[in-house]
Amino acid sequence: MEPSISESRRDQTDLMLTKDLSVANLDFQRFRIEPDRLTQGKHAHYLAIVEAMLNVYRNGIGLRRRDLHRRVQNLFTDIPDCPPRRIEAFCKLLDDQSVYDDSWRKKAPALRKEVFGKAAPHHPLVQTADSLFESTVSHIQQRISSELGKPWHEIEDQLYADVIEFHRLKEFPGYPDGRALLSRYNVAQVQVALFSALSLQLRVSGNFKQILRAIRLARLMHTINRVRDSIFDIRIDGPASVLRETRRYGVQMARFLPALVASTGWSLEAQIAVSGRLRMTLELRDTDGLRSHVAPETEFDSSIEQEFSNKWGTEPREGWTLFRESEFLFAGQKTFVPDFVFLHQTGVRIYFEIVGFWTPEYLDARKKTLFTFADYPIMLAVHHLAESQFSDVCKSHRVISYKTTLTVKPVIEALNSFLNAS
């Protein structure tokens, strides 16, 4: 039997709601949008409900998805002022932490065709036979079961295995407790709002490297300005303003949020496109009480960077030692954090940036940054598909082209060329 796609655990960063599950309060006087948030003060009674929801899934192994959803919905029967979308959002978050058996999904259409074909000559089927209608449902089910060599309950389970509501719960890794589910719901509603963000303005006074790394991991277009020592403004262009693939980019912006929430020393102001030309402002800060569900981000922005770092190692090569994101560069109010810094035993310092093949907008933004820092000794590793985009950058920075992986030898050659030129 083929393995089921939904039997694998999903990445925590992919646990997001869809736009149709958004719950938000729109303040048309102040033009503010406030994503739905359940707080201990106003919604204390929800803690018992979410614990009950978790028990529905914990004790629901073998039940169909639709039956689990019905049991969750029944928990809210006597709860006032609870929009249906809120319940549906909880079901989505519970499903995202579930493992459903959908192993028969590809075979279901053929099975239906076979079963219906065997039943068709005996129609109409009735519950009790009489002089007009002799074929009963139970008799035909037994007959088909005998012909296919499997019990009817098994056939019935497999008959609509390609319909998501009929998938049966196999495992429920779940959430640690009800508070964790409530926290996940609150963050998820903010993420949905960011799907339609025009821009996002961050003021960062702490965890700058951690936040910047999260932005880069999410591949978000951004510009950085230094306000004063240790305080930075970061502008992130949103999916509704710069790219045609708004859904994809919106997911990336939403994916960034939990990493931001896990940090300290920040405030956020996002401009959200609500409908047509209507714009709303969403404001958040690190003291608002949101709790992140994700683990700290990995050290590297991409597998290319990590592979190169592993290849280079911790020991010097021909006098060059590699350091990861160890320095900030400043040009006026502009800030640039190179991926790596090479330090030679003679004291020569070279900054190293790896540019992956990405959208034209991303490449243009990266080029502008490089031109701003043209006076610094910067070396680029550029994906061969994007190499032509950086032909004019070669005048101020050395460029290395790579395809699938970045090797050490051409990097050392380029580094030594800096020594020879000095």
Dist. CA 297–CA 314, nearest whole Å: 22
User: What are the counts of helices (DSSP H) followed by strands (DSSP E) for the chain?
Assistant: 13, 16
For residue 354, give the nearest of 308, 391, 413 by alpha carbon: 308
Place of tokens 């939990």: 258
Architecture of domain 195-296: 2-Layer Sandwich (3.30)
Which one is the CATH code of 303-421: 3.40.1620, 3.30.70, 1.10.3470, 3.40.1350? 3.40.1350
Instruction: Name the phi and psi angles at 377, rounded to 5.
Output: -75, 90
For residue 97, give the nearest of 44, 141, 50, 136 by alpha carbon: 50
pLDDT digits (tens, 9 = 90+) for 73-125: 999 998 888 999 999 999 999 999 999 998 888 888 999 999 999 999 988 88
**pLDDT score of 348 more than 50:** yes
**pLDDT score of 388 more than 60:** yes
For residue 87, give the nearest of 42, 48, 49, 47 by alpha carbon: 49
Q: Which residue would you say has higher pLDDT here, 60 or 1?
A: 60
Dist. CA 382–CA 400, nearest whole Å: 6
pLDDT digits (tens, 9 = 90+) for 220-278: 888 888 888 778 899 987 655 554 445 566 778 888 999 999 999 999 999 998 887 89
Radius of gyration for the chain, computed over Cα atoms and rounded to the nearest angstrom: 28
- Band the pLDDT of 212: cuts 50, 70, 90: confident
Minimum mean pLDDT among 18-27, 131-140, 190-199, 332-341: which range? 332-341
Place of tokens 């310092």: 349
pLDDT digits (tens, 9 = 90+) for 271-329: 998 887 899 999 999 999 999 887 655 556 677 888 899 999 989 999 999 988 667 78
Q: Exposed, middle or buried by CB within 10 Å (0-12, 13-18, 19+), for 260?
A: buried
Residue type at position 359: T
Dist. CA 130–CA 120, nearest whole Å: 19
Torsion of CA 189, 192, 196, 197, to 10 degrees: 60
Q: Which residue would you say has higher pLDDT here, 421 or 243?
A: 421
**pLDDT score of 148 more than 90:** yes
Q: Exposed, middle or buried by CB within 10 Å (0-12, 13-18, 19+), for 25?
A: exposed
DSSP calls for 143-170: HHHHHHTS-HHHHHHHHTTTSGGGPEEE
Domain extent listing, the chain = 108-160, 195-296, 303-421
The answer to whether the CB of 381 falls within 8 A of the CB of 402 is: yes
**pLDDT score of 1 more than 80:** no
Q: Which residue would you say has higher pLDDT here, 363 or 62?
A: 62
Please list the alpha-helical segments (H only) found in 205-277: 208-217, 239-242, 246-261
Within 10 Å of residue 167's Cβ, how many Cβ atoms?
A: 24
Sign of CA dihedral 358, 362, 367, 373: negative
Q: What is the pLDDT of residue 9?
A: 38
Please list the alpha-helical segments (H only) found in 7-120: 46-58, 65-75, 84-96, 108-119
Within 10 Å of residue 274's Cβ, how many Cβ atoms?
A: 15
**pLDDT score of 396 more than 70:** no
In the beta sheet, which residues pair with residue 100?
A: 169
Q: What is the DSSP letter of 125?
A: P
